[in-house]
Structure 1
Amino acid sequence: MTDVQALALGFLQGFSEWLPISSTAHVAVGLRLFGLSDSAAFGSVFTAVSQLGSVLAALIYFRRDIAAVLAKPGFMGQAVEADQTDRRLLLPIAAGTLPVVICGLLFKDAIEGPLRGMNVIAGSMISFAIILAWVDWRSTKQRTLGSITLIDGIIIGIGQAFSLIPGASRSGTTITAALAAGFERATAARFSFLLSLPAITGAGLYELIRHWEAVMAAGMVRPIVIATVTAFVVGWASIDLLLKFLRRNSMTAFVLYRFVVGGVIIMLVMSGVIAP
């Protein structure tokens, strides 16, 4: 992998991680277009580790929120006055993390194997776009974080478990679940980000430790560092863009984008440009 390829893949990772458009789909297509492997020993590792750049961007962007949730004034250098709303998020986040952890362990082989096929990814891009469009249209979108309950956390956490299907999108499935529960769009996105941090961080560190020797032997440290740093910078901008966008707009743009990308993937596979 060249530095330019790592930069491009890091951009794709950072751009798509927090938007409801599936970073896995974008990175998988990028790897194939560059003629690189998307096997479990490479593609999933590269994706999981480079996600840590996006995670770091979210940790810094939401440092006040995180400090308030943990109820530790001065956390990460910020003086925080944690109110009851902030503190009550901790239990829903913890409960909402369990489904994705359990499903990730149970279905790990399938997720890293047959489910990484481009046909599955394209199908997920389109099918979950339909669900997102319908839920966004039907949702009341009135609830704020102050009304969140443990049950909400579990429901949105189940949505996060569906994101294990490549192409579904972690932010897409969790925002969809939050909208279905009646939360405002921007609120749904904010809780989605906070909920995803433990799972993404854990997955990235697990894959890094698990495949560290293989990464070193393949000379992948430099490309992964480049991709991770790029994902951090672009990921920060992506978070800010989405939160501002959802305060005034619906999910329609992302739904249409998912349809287009899903269709393009199908055409690329059918034309033989990328392997299925």
Structure 2
Amino acid sequence: MGWFEAMVLGLVQGLTEFLPISSSAHLRITAALAGWDDPGAAFTAVTQIGTELAVILYFSKKIGQILVAWFYSLYKKDWRSHPDARLGWLIIVGSMPIVILGLLFQNDIDHTFRDLRLTATMLIVFGIILLIADRVGKQERILDDLSVKHGLGFGFAQALALIPGVSRSGGTTSAGLLMGYTRAEAAEYSFLLALPAVFGSGLYKLTDIGKDGQTAQWGPTILATIIAFAVGYVVIAWLMAFIKTKSFVPFVIYRLALGVLLFVLIFAGVLDPNAGPAI
């Protein structure tokens, strides 16, 4: 992977990580269209650390409150019912599905799930699910209403994003809307819930960077991560303002159009569904 390629993919990662359109799908598609090698699951996982650092910066006050309340809840009984302490515990609970499934399906994540036909299918299917959730969700609940059952619901939705095309933010936000949470609250919890999983995945995959001549090397990966951080912060700020007054319909239309276009390119022979080595 060259420096220009890393710059482009870092920009794509930052632009798409928080939008409900699947950053992993866009990294995969961008590389395939440009004729580059598949950047691989390791590159995706590590560059996502950059976008999650943007989450920490944007939600720093809220994250600080959660950490303080959670820490106190470990040894002070009266803190265990505090909303921020409960949120901290439920982020841990909600992270369990993706950790377990990520380990169980590690080989599929690195290989089988990166087939562009599957990516196109997930873009369309989960675009429709997002549309339904956006239309039928009651949007009455806030994060103080979060329960263990709902935390696990968010968690299993996040785990589906192990498949490129699903979208971590799209899947978890759809689950939140279907469970009655507002767009802003569902999106905020989606971003917070991603922190343990993304950092865990990124650290786990660090040893795969520069492992051989085919995988991404350290220099370009670091550059892409820095770009993803800067661009990601701007996108978070824009999205949180956008969804307070607008629906997810524009993202649904985009997902459907991209999924259909991807199928057309594949069946027309323009794109190989396994373009680039699956690494």
The TM-score, its normalising length taken from structure 1, stands at: 0.90
- Structure 1 residue 178 displacement after superposition: 0.7
Unaligned runs of 5+ in 1: 74-82
Task: Give the counterpart letter for 2:227 in structure 1.
Answer: T
Alignment of 1:179-218 (within 5 A): 179-209=177-207, 211-214=208-211
Query: Is residue 2:121 matched to residue 1:123?
Result: yes
Query: Is residue 2:231 matched to residue 1:234?
Result: yes
Q: CA RMSD in A?
A: 1.8
SS in 1 for 2:211: helix
Distance 2:45 2:216 in 1: 17
SS in 2 for 1:261: helix
The TM-score, its normalising length taken from structure 2, stands at: 0.89
Kindly tell me: are residues 253 and 213 of structure 1, through their superposed partners in 2, closer, same or farther at Cα, counting changes over 3 Å?
closer
Query: Is residue 2:144 matched to residue 1:151?
Result: no
Match of 1:47 among 39, 44, 53: 44
Query: Is residue 2:9 matched to residue 1:9?
Result: yes
Cα offsets for 1:57-104 (capped at 9, x unmatched):
11111111111111169xxxxxxxxx9322220111111000111111
Distance 2:216 2:166 in 1: 31
**Are the aligned partners of 2:209 and 2:215 in contact in 1 as well (CA < 8 Å)?**
no
Match of 1:257 among 247, 251, 254: 254
Structure 1 window deviating more from structure 2 (62-71 vs 217-226): it is 217-226
Kindly tell me: are residues 219 and 118 of structure 1, through their superposed partners in 2, closer, same or farther at Cα, counting changes over 3 Å?
closer
Match of 1:271 among 249, 268, 273: 268
Distance 1:250 1:212 in 2: 38
Task: Give the counterpart letter for 2:218 in structure 1.
Answer: V
Which residue number corresponds to residue 78 of structure 1? Answer: none
Match of 2:63 among 59, 62, 66: 66
Task: Give the counterpart letter for 2:153 in structure 1.
Answer: I
SS in 1 for 2:52: helix
Which residue number corresponds to residue 172 of structure 1? Answer: 170
Distance 1:216 1:202 in 2: 25
- Structure 1 residue 218 displacement after superposition: 6.2
Distance 1:206 1:170 in 2: 18
Structure 1 window deviating more from structure 2 (1-10 vs 211-220): it is 211-220
Distance 1:56 1:216 in 2: 28
Distance 1:183 1:129 in 2: 18
Match of 1:113 among 101, 111, 114: 111
Percent identity over paired residues:
40
Distance 1:250 1:120 in 2: 26
SS in 2 for 1:91: helix
Which residue number corresponds to residue 138 of structure 1? Answer: 136
Distance 1:24 1:147 in 2: 31
- Structure 1 residue 2 displacement after superposition: 2.8
Task: Give the counterpart letter for 1:106 in structure 2.
Answer: L
Match of 2:159 among 153, 158, 161: 161
Task: Give the counterpart letter for 2:24 in structure 1.
Answer: T
Distance 2:213 2:57 in 1: 28
- Structure 1 residue 108 displacement after superposition: 1.4
Cα offsets for 1:201-247 (capped at 9, x unmatched):
111111112x1451689672221111111100110011111111110
Which residue number corresponds to residue 27 of structure 2? Answer: 27
Task: Give the counterpart letter for 1:265 in structure 2.
Answer: L
- Structure 1 residue 33 displacement after superposition: 2.2
Query: Is residue 2:94 matched to residue 1:96?
Result: yes
Kindly tell me: are residues 218 and 139 of structure 1, through their superposed partners in 2, closer, same or farther at Cα, counting changes over 3 Å?
closer
Distance 1:274 1:9 in 2: 19
Distance 1:251 1:275 in 2: 31
Task: Give the counterpart letter for 1:97 in structure 2.
Answer: S
Unaligned runs of 5+ in 2: 71-80, 274-279
**Are the aligned partners of 1:269 and 1:275 in contact in 2 as well (CA < 8 Å)?**
yes
Task: Give the counterpart letter for 1:61 in structure 2.
Answer: Y
